[in-house]
Amino acid sequence: MSYVYSANEVFEMAQEIERNGARFYRNASANVPDAPTKELLLDLASMEDDHFQIFATMRSGLSARETESPAFDPNNEIALYLAALADTRVFFEKTIDTASVEGIFKAALQAEKDSIAFYVGMKDLVPAHLGVGRIDAIVREEMRHIRLLSDRLAALKG
């Protein structure tokens, strides 16, 4: 079955990815003993919370046309499918190397990269008239997160 997503549905998925990301960082912080690393991971979780809010604001700014579901979906299957994708593709439950901060950051960096790939792929599924241009804003936000993680990882190595 082929799906066509509205910008609203993609933003809903983005919010779920950010929620999962915040949980990922909080769980990782619970497994590290030193306070500075724990604080950094909690800061990253807070940034994911901020992204969630940004995407919620962007979603609330969608036009009526962009919030329309492009397909008949009486059982809300599209939303369930999107949630399953968000739960399993990006920041899914996985084993991370909590013995080293570097391992945690590498896992986080990969998840952030996966989120960008996910959003870029979603752009092909959202027709232009339903707000595909707004997905670019999601990608820019995630790129900022990758730059931060990369800087922190480089600082650990340097």
**CATH number, residue 112:** 1.20.1260.10
Task: Tell me if 44 is assigned to some domain.
Answer: yes
Tell me whether residue 1 is in a domain: no
Which tokens go with 136? 């670019």
Sorted by sequence, the CB contacts under 8 Å of residue 30 that are 6+ apart come out as none
Q: What is the pLDDT of residues 9-25, one digit of tens each?
A: 778 888 888 898 898 88
What secondary structure letter does DSSP report for 94?
Answer: -
Please report whether residue 2 resides in a domain: no
Q: What is the pTM of this model?
A: 0.76
Structural domain tally of the chain?
Answer: 1
Taking residues 134-144, report their average pLDDT. 84
Q: Rounded to whole angstroms, how far apart are CA atoms 32 and 133? A: 39
Q: Look at residue 1 in the predicted model and tell me its pLDDT.
A: 46
Nearest alpha carbon to residue 149 among 96, 110, 105: 105
Domain that holds residue 107: 7-157
